[in-house]
Structure 1
Amino acid sequence: MLNAQHCREGDWVYLPAHRTYGRIIERTALWGHEIFRVWLPSSDSVVRVRSDEISTQCSTLSTHHLTYLAAAARVADALTQDVLLAPIESSVIPLPHQIRALSRAISNDRVRYLLADEVGLGKTIEAGLIMRELKLRGLVRRTLVIAPKGLVTQWIAEMAMHFNEQFHPIMSEDYKSLKRISAIHSDELRGLRTEYEGNNSGLVAQHSALRAANSNPFRAFDQVVVSMDSVKPPANASGAAWERFEDLISAGWDLVIVDEAHRLGGSTDQVARYKLGQGLAEAAPYLLLLSATPHQGKTDAFHRLISLVDAQAFPDVSSVTKERVQPYVIRTEKRRAIDAEGKPLFKPRRTELAPVSWEDRHRDQRLLYEAVTEYVREGYNQAMREKRSYIGFLMILMQRLVVSSTRAIRTTLERRLEALEAPQEQLTLFPMVSEEDWADLDGQEQMDTLLKTRLKALKNERAEVKLLLEAAKRCESQGPDAKAEALLDWIYRLQAEEGDPDLKVLVFTEFVPTQEMLMRFLTERGFEVVCLNGSMDMEERKRVQDAFAKDARILISTDAGGEGLNLQFCHVVINYDIPWNPMRLEQRIGRVDRIGQTHTVRAINFVFEDSVEHRVREVLEEKLAVIFEEFGIDKTGDVLDSAQAERIFDDLYVEAILNPDVVETKVDEVLKSIQEQAWESRQSASVLGPTEDLDPREAQRLLAHPLPHWVERMTVSYLRAHGGRAERKNGAWDLTWPGSERLTNVVFTNKEAEEKPLSRHVTLEAPKVRGLAMRLPPFAPGQSVPVITLPGLAPEIMGFWSLWRISISTADWNRRRIMPLFLADDGRVFAPTARHIWDQLLTTAPTILQHLDVETSHQAFERLQEAAEQQGKTIYDELVQAHRERLAREREKGEYAFAARRRAIERIGLPQVRNHRLSLLEQEEERFREQLERRAQILPEMAPLLLVRVEGNHG
């Protein structure tokens, strides 16, 4: 190393205060002081130092620093090679299709995709893996999840269980509370602390953060879940709902995930949910839309959905083609899904219709069914004549209630009579509810919505309701319902058939009164029973699920209560009453027919013998099976969305009730419609692309990946080399960072974290740790080269080993790779030996024998630099090719979008308007081309990171 008085511009010098090398870029003298401006490659910064701050002694490389550099470079190389971090660092063991989804998502700079796996394949897990991957790479901090209300709990539970990620629900009432808290002056806040204790204590704790975030409640937490309909924009651009929408969109998200995203497509581009989608699409750079049924033969709705992922790629409906859509869609079909051993992931189901007969003792119950059916038939006809469709909805529900239970129809008749006996002026019209919103409600929610509005009466309705109510009360007093007795028989029968006296059974009903009746009925007969319905909050739902997983034998759930359940430990579902919409039936069975189910799923569907519902269901199931076989589909949901199915099957059952003699004819008409829809759907859904073959070995390879050990070696070695401390205690680390920050009980692998619940699991997500890999100091020419030996090296290995970072950067893009290089003393380059030495440095401590003098070190550097230029050219060419392909995709997408916009403008009739807009478009297109030209300019770089002389082990 040169003495300070001999240093010249361009010389490399060591700065002890900065613990790094730098290059002199300017030397000046002023008033007796000699000042140097020195460029520090490690931080890409320039510092001014005095001559006495430049060391005249050559700095030597310690063993710990050498190990740190080798490990950090290996971690950085793993990141550049698209090694998947999330599966390594999470408690979930991904399946082959989930690994493929993550790999595809991360392979692109713009992580904006439609995850379209079929139901039950774990799209939530895939989204969680992608989120974790982006977080571990330092690309995401703030994540927003939008889900239907019933799935909010599931998201929170699964993110915590599989990824140890805490998400916070902000429902409408939470938003109002947070908004109010954020507006309260800190002096007043102290007086309200008692009010917000308990469930709301976290809201108070967020006060300061909210004030700093301009009173936006969605900034209170970095990871938030909201229900879709609680944040969609209102029709008028004012009021509290609009403020909530604007707060959501402007909260500064990095990643937005939308579950059941097909609901954002809407029936037109004016629907509130589509407007919500547009806002969300622009709210974050990364976007994941999740939907098992994104395309159901309605190309315009699918276009609206896929355009949220990339508006430029899909400027109009004609852009929705297989070739253009496939790069944005990640999809696996159930029949192609395999487990880690390559076996089919799902077992066949066993579904059976269980007719329930009315015995003599149930005579009054049968008469009640017939009387309610007649009431429904007359009431529905009258409602349609008077164009009062909301009364028609009520009649439909009355029919479903009487089939459900005597308790359900009795309770509803009482509520209806109460409304009919109220003063006429208190009766109201049915509020406006969109078709999509109505279809999302389960039977209980639809009934509550109708009865709360106190609908105006039909002719003679009050007298009829009184008679029916008396009959219902009489039936209840006579003993259990026929179906309740049948349920008990089936439970005992299933216990025997399955050979399990403690068999768990999931029972579904549409209505809460039926649920309450069944709970009492079964509890009185010695069963431990728990219930779930849509009125329960998240804590209640969790307690019920936990109880069913442990001691409870039977879970009785409504459809709304069952949303989001994962009950793989149960394999028997009894549908106590069957919803008319077969998609709801599929969703129910899907609660147990999920990944991880080890038994054949059994579904028992109850229906009254000789009822209208029985006749429809018998014909329907038989003929639907033929259609499904013909088109290779599993369920109605493959070709219809929920709103369509709700309307079609409601119409079918209503027609069967009104005209029992034409059941088969009506079923045939419906099936013909479904058949046509299936044909259209199969044709149009082909744009989603086929499922690729899956490799079952990828999961095992990932789980065995040594990345966590590299991170551990990198961190520990860095601390020991740079003034920190790392001490191993009871199988964990106590780490002290330079500057005295201390972390205790630290582990680096997920296995260790699971074995030590109180430990702190450190990953690349920690900014300090990730920075150790991403800000590697370069080797400085003139730096003394250490001579090392390693226990695992053969004596014949003699030469120089080095690491080089090869990168290209453009106006908006940079990519880098790290290349190991071994140059033997005979002048030959050995790539396998270079990788082998790197592997050894990550597992064993090197021994530093000596440091070469400055002149020898400089000569070695020049030889290695020349070899690195030759060997690195291939890597450079690969990086350049990847950049060119990226630009080509951007150019094609942009040109397609401009062409579509030009066609739209050319349809304008007024020449002056048309020409003006064409002129503006040409200017915009010219700017686009100029920008692409600037982005095509490449700046290559090759920087040395580590250089050592290696001498094989002679010991």
Structure 2
Amino acid sequence: MLLSVPYSIRMVSGDTDNVSSEIEWVVDDPPAISKTAQTDAEDATAHMRAVQAHRFEVIQSKQDLLAVEEVKDQVKLLDHQLSAAHQAITSMGRGTLFADEVGLGKTIEIGMVLKEMDLRETRDSFLILTPAQLAPQWQHELEEKFGLEFVCNYDDAFQGFDAHDRIVASVDTAKGKRHRQDVLDRHWDVLVLDEAHYVRNEDTKRYNLIQEIDYQEALFATATPIQNDVSDLYSIINLIRPGLLGTKREFQNRYLADNDASELKNADDLQRKLDRVMIRNRREETDIDFTNREVRTNAFDPTADERRLYDTVTDYVRSNYSSENAAHLVLLLLQKEVVSSPSAVASTVEKWLRGEGAATVHDREHLQEIKDLADGIETTTKQRRLRDIVETIHERLDKTRVVVFTQFRSTQQEIAESARKLDQPVHTVDGDLSSKEKDEVVSQFESEGGVLVATDSISEGRNMQFCNVMVNYDLPWNPMEVEQRIGRIDRIGQEREVHVFNLALEDTVEEFVLEKLYGKINLFTQSIGGLRDILSRKEQSGADFEQEVFDRLRTADNRDELENNFEEMAVDLEDNKEAAEKMGDFNRSVFENFDFGGGEA
């Protein structure tokens, strides 16, 4: 018979609902008892310790991530990613903010959590909300890496937010009049919000939507939880764990020095609370050896025929532009095509001459002149330069692998025909291919080598770390699109130096964009998060980047005015860059003494 021994339970760390919290069994001091009774008491204590040890074994067995074994062939999990996923599942309660620095794989961490929930069958309904351009990428990565099938709001099969249990959607689609009520009318087991800093403003429809969604568990992700001041952090945390930081006034009074959003007080207390909801890893704290990126930007002198074609197209664009109708969209397209390839220009103009989509385009004689000039160019300057690059790579590497990006189908065909003359395997991928077909082409490229000629249909969602050479045959005017291209090969898992070649024609819009704009923001050394911050500031001013480039080009009467126009735009970009860098420094200063996500799995 065991002697009844008084004891108490004390939680050593974490919340009372935290399954991984340590529990101390504290035996109260007993009154004086006989030796036999003391032995019985010791036996009772040993028994309780054995029971507790068994309980911890059971808990630990439940904490082991089943998903690790399931995804090991698809995902090379890094230590910090595994630790973050483990921490989110075992010790973060009903919500987690994944705040790793850019490039450390927050999508992988959340994917691991979702996979674990799927394997344990603990959650049924999942809603993932992202910026519009990232929704298909999330859908693809969850299926490819974790075997999780989600319907995307851009899919033909999407029937509404009340018709599916696993949805990836644009946050702006979800907040729109057509779908908002359907999103709010049901309970979601898990809500995932990517780029959570976009909902930091409490006075926006995005914030109100997230605040009103009925969900059990939240997984938010952002590399920049603070955009303007520490109040941004409060807004995001309050969506994930309402009340954790008190009311907004209480938060300001307790943590901001004299209500100054640029200076903290009681930082240790704030850290303890953030530790309960936030995981943050920094690049320098991981064991990832990021490779170097070498970028070669060459502006080549076009031939006389190419120069004549460019000038003729530019003159046509300027004389036919009108912001009052849709013509400016097709003219912008034509201006992009003329620095890509003659075949791209000829293809578009030929359609207009046939009356396809040219209702607002005038001057058939001028169009015919453009087509004749384009048809008369057989070999272009960019074709010759691309051949030089491929031949050089072929001489230096055992297996040639070069990815060539273009925005236009006609240019893609022209590149492929030219590359085949180099006796190299040539692969093409564009938006007409299904996701499975794209995967097959990329797989063939990996095994056979050669040249992959791709449109921007794979600039997101396809990772090709097996290749380390990329050519931007033509350049998108939006720097985010350029970085997304490079991000296909320059990412975690790339073990070699990345080489990027930018081809441009001298004294054209490409050269101005490269030198004046991309140069000012150091595009090719910027993180993608930094680019988003720079461009988001421009978007807040109501200016569309590509439209502004086009306007600066078409309104210039001569080269000097064109240079001045682009210089003004470059100064604005540089101001945005400096503001974004200052905010990045502030972010780091706020968190520099914090030790988020430091525990090991």
Give the TM-score band, short-chain normalised. Answer: 0.7 to 0.9
Which residue of the other structure, out of 306, 315, 323, is the alignment partner of 1:365?
Answer: 306
Q: 1:625 deviation in Å?
A: 3.8
Instruction: Report the counterpart of residue 367 of structure 2 in structure 1.
Output: 465
* Corresponding letter in the other structure for 1:338: T
Q: 1:576 deviation in Å?
A: 0.6
Which residue of the other structure, out of 370, 376, 394, is the alignment partner of 1:495?
Answer: 394
1:356-505 matches, cutoff 5 A: 356-359=300-303, 363-380=304-321, 383=322, 387-388=323-324, 390-418=326-354, 421=355, 456-457=360-361, 460-475=362-377, 479-496=378-395, 499-505=396-402
Q: Conserved in 1, the CA contact under 8 Å of 2:405 and 2:474? A: yes
* Corresponding letter in the other structure for 2:381: A
Distance 1:229 1:698 in 2: 32
Which residue of the other structure, out of 285, 290, 293, is the alignment partner of 1:349?
Answer: 293
Count of residues paired in the alignment: 527
Distance 2:383 2:447 in 1: 25
Which residue of the other structure, out of 588, 603, 619, is the alignment partner of 2:485?
Answer: 588
Distance 1:604 1:161 in 2: 29
Structure 1 residues 409-418 or 568-577, which shifts more? 409-418
Which residue of the other structure, out of 143, 166, 174, is the alignment partner of 2:157?
Answer: 174
Q: Deviations over 1:485-516 (max 9, x none)?
A: 221111111233xx214221111112222223
* Corresponding letter in the other structure for 1:690: F
Distance 1:599 1:627 in 2: 17
Q: Deviations over 1:634-656 (max 9, x none)?
A: 85334333973972464246424
Instruction: Report the counterpart of residue 73 of structure 1 in structure 2.
Output: 55
Instruction: Report the counterpart of residue 690 of structure 1 in structure 2.
Output: 591
Distance 2:314 2:197 in 1: 36
Q: Conserved in 1, the CA contact under 8 Å of 2:151 and 2:158? A: no
Q: Conserved in 1, the CA contact under 8 Å of 2:343 and 2:411? A: yes
Instruction: Report the counterpart of residue 414 of structure 2 in structure 1.
Output: 517
1:59-458 matches, cutoff 5 A: 73-78=55-60, 86-87=67-68, 90-91=71-72, 92-106=75-89, 108-134=91-117, 139-147=122-130, 154-156=137-139, 158-160=141-143, 162-167=145-150, 171-176=154-159, 216-219=162-165, 224-228=166-170, 231-235=173-177, 241-242=178-179, 246-250=181-185, 252-261=187-196, 269-270=204-205, 277-278=210-211, 282-292=213-223, 296-297=227-228, 308-310=239-241, 312=243, 328-334=277-283, 336=284, 338-339=286-287, 344-359=288-303, 363-380=304-321, 383=322, 387-388=323-324, 390-418=326-354, 421=355, 456-457=360-361
Which residue of the other structure, out of 680, 684, 694, is the alignment partner of 2:579?
Answer: 680
Q: Conserved in 2, the CA contact under 8 Å of 1:153 and 1:538? A: no
Residue 566 of structure 1: SS of its match in structure 2?
coil
Q: 1:585 deviation in Å?
A: 1.3
Instruction: Report the counterpart of residue 905 of structure 1 in structure 2.
Output: none
1:759-770 matches, cutoff 5 A: none
Q: 1:610 deviation in Å?
A: 3.0
* Corresponding letter in the other structure for 2:163: P
Q: Conserved in 2, the CA contact under 8 Å of 1:565 and 1:591? A: yes
Q: Deviations over 1:865-919 (max 9, x none)?
A: xxxxxxxxxxxxxxxxxxxxxxxxxxxxxxxxxxxxxxxxxxxxxxxxxxxxxxx
Distance 2:507 2:164 in 1: 55
Instruction: Report the counterpart of residue 27 of structure 2 in structure 1.
Output: none
Q: 1:394 deviation in Å?
A: 3.2
Q: Deviations over 1:820-877 (max 9, x none)?
A: xxxxxxxxxxxxxxxxxxxxxxxxxxxxxxxxxxxxxxxxxxxxxxxxxxxxxxxxxx
Distance 2:174 2:597 in 1: 41
Relative contact order, higher structure (CA 8 A, sep 6+): 1
Q: Deviations over 1:59-81 (max 9, x none)?
A: xxxxxxxxx9999634323269x
Instruction: Report the counterpart of residue 22 of structure 2 in structure 1.
Output: none
* Corresponding letter in the other structure for 2:498: V
* Corresponding letter in the other structure for 1:500: L
Question: Measured at CA, do residues 283 and 568 of structure 1 come closer, stay the same or move farther in structure 2, by a change above 3 Å?
Answer: farther
Question: Measured at CA, do residues 625 and 152 of structure 1 come closer, stay the same or move farther in structure 2, by a change above 3 Å?
Answer: closer
> What TM-score do the two structures reach when normalised by structure 2?
0.73
Residue 465 of structure 1: SS of its match in structure 2?
helix
Distance 1:145 1:620 in 2: 34
Distance 1:172 1:633 in 2: 26
Distance 1:268 1:379 in 2: 42
Distance 1:87 1:488 in 2: 44
Question: Measured at CA, do residues 680 and 649 of structure 1 come closer, stay the same or move farther in structure 2, by a change above 3 Å?
Answer: same
* Corresponding letter in the other structure for 2:379: P
Residue 433 of structure 2: SS of its match in structure 1?
coil
Q: 1:566 deviation in Å?
A: 1.1
Q: 1:306 deviation in Å?
A: 5.8
1:703-718 matches, cutoff 5 A: none
Question: Measured at CA, do residues 634 and 122 of structure 1 come closer, stay the same or move farther in structure 2, by a change above 3 Å?
Answer: closer
Which residue of the other structure, out of 555, 560, 563, is the alignment partner of 1:661?
Answer: 560
Q: 1:465 deviation in Å?
A: 2.5
Q: 1:597 deviation in Å?
A: 0.4
Q: Conserved in 2, the CA contact under 8 Å of 1:511 and 1:558? A: yes
Q: Deviations over 1:7-65 (max 9, x none)?
A: xxxxxxxxxxxxxxxxxxxxxxxxxxxxxxxxxxxxxxxxxxxxxxxxxxxxxxxxxxx
Q: Conserved in 2, the CA contact under 8 Å of 1:353 and 1:604? A: yes
Distance 2:233 2:324 in 1: 33
Q: Conserved in 2, the CA contact under 8 Å of 1:507 and 1:554? A: yes
Distance 1:119 1:548 in 2: 28
Question: Measured at CA, do residues 554 and 606 of structure 1 come closer, stay the same or move farther in structure 2, by a change above 3 Å?
Answer: same
* Corresponding letter in the other structure for 1:120: G
Q: 1:246 deviation in Å?
A: 4.4
Distance 1:389 1:691 in 2: 52
Distance 1:154 1:86 in 2: 21
Distance 2:201 2:346 in 1: 38
Instruction: Report the counterpart of residue 953 of structure 1 in structure 2.
Output: none
Identical pairs, percent: 27
Distance 2:524 2:295 in 1: 17
Q: Which runs of 5+ in 1 are unaligned?
A: 2-67, 180-214, 236-240, 423-450, 703-955
Instruction: Report the counterpart of residue 823 of structure 1 in structure 2.
Output: none
Question: Measured at CA, do residues 70 and 110 of structure 1 come closer, stay the same or move farther in structure 2, by a change above 3 Å?
Answer: closer
Q: Conserved in 2, the CA contact under 8 Å of 1:332 and 1:691? A: no
1:33-48 matches, cutoff 5 A: none
1:678-827 matches, cutoff 5 A: 678-685=577-584, 686-687=586-587, 689-690=590-591
Q: Conserved in 2, the CA contact under 8 Å of 1:303 and 1:314? A: no
* Corresponding letter in the other structure for 2:343: R
Residue 400 of structure 2: SS of its match in structure 1?
coil
Cα RMSD (Å): 4.3
* Corresponding letter in the other structure for 2:170: M
Question: Measured at CA, do residues 535 and 378 of structure 1 come closer, stay the same or move farther in structure 2, by a change above 3 Å?
Answer: same
* Corresponding letter in the other structure for 1:256: L
Which residue of the other structure, out of 532, 556, 564, is the alignment partner of 1:637?
Answer: 532
Distance 2:308 2:247 in 1: 60
Q: Deviations over 1:144-192 (max 9, x none)?
A: 334567655654554455445454556552134xx8xxxxxxxxxxxxx
Residue 253 of structure 1: SS of its match in structure 2?
strand
Q: 1:411 deviation in Å?
A: 1.8
Q: Conserved in 2, the CA contact under 8 Å of 1:231 and 1:248? A: no
Structure of higher CA gyration radius: 1
Residue 491 of structure 1: SS of its match in structure 2?
helix
